[in-house]
Amino acid sequence: MKRVLPPLFAASALVLAGSASASATDSQRQTYGEAMDWYRAQAEAGDAKAQFYYGLALERGAQGSQGDADRARALDLYKKAAEGGYALAQYRLGVLYQIGQGVPKDLAEARRWFGAASDAGLREAEFNYAIMLETGTGGARDPKEAARLYEISAGKGVRQAFLPLGILYARGEGVERDLIEALKWLILAERAGADGVHQAMVTVRAAMEDKDQAEAVKRADAWRMTLPE
């Protein structure tokens, strides 16, 4: 039977926000405490999902401390969950190694964990990994794979992927050069409010005929994200 994790952070948020009555506060505290006990037990039993969420509670100080010992324990739980294949833990480790929080900054390790979470289909990881592949951060450049992942993450609702994808199409880097596709993605980036898109659009439009610009607008209008459930 598939186990359902208790609503740890829903309960946590209620406790942190406070309550209008003492009885409600006591009830929330009991619910939260029960959830924490469940997560702790499941984490100790080796459940990767529970390891991640219990680690997150420790890192955020949801048990009321947030000391160095809690953060170290959280990191240990993230690593166990990540090695157990849990994508959110892999992504969280990637972030921590990328910014050097709780661990020495290590871009190669960040890239490794973003890549693992990307392989699992986590859209945020797909985008972050694509950036590292495009720029050669933490390893060799791979603009072809970067373009593929930008398009996948864009389709899942990561609007930040529109601009770099448009630029890759404009340059013909990692993909066959296609100014119509480039302008389509730049139009979508502009509609999403991306910074720095204006000059790219001016440059691309200057190299296109009116009919091709109209086709790009048509494609942008027709494009739809396949948002995750």
pLDDT tens digit sequence for 70-112: 889 999 999 999 999 999 999 999 999 999 999 999 999 999 9
Confidence band (pLDDT; 50, 70, 90) for 69? confident
pLDDT at residue 114 is higher than 50 = yes
Burial environment of residue 178 by CB neighbours within 10 A (0 to 12, 13 to 18, 19 or more): middle
The CATH superfamily assigned to 91-157 is: Tetratricopeptide repeat domain (1.25.40.10)
- 54 in Cβ contact with 40 (< 8 Å): yes
pLDDT tens per residue across span 214-226: 999 999 999 987 6
Distant-in-sequence, close-in-space partners of 52: CB < 8 Å, separation ≥ 6 = 77, 78, 81, 86, 88, 89, 92
Residues of the chain with CATH 1.25.40.10: 91-157
CA distances from 224 to 106, 151, 159, 197 (A): 36, 12, 12, 20
The pLDDT score that the predictor gives to residue 37 is 84
pLDDT at residue 67 is higher than 50 = yes
* CA–CA dist 182, 28 (Å, integer): 52
pLDDT at residue 54 is higher than 60 = yes
Higher pLDDT, 152 or 1: 152
This model's pTM is above 0.75 = yes
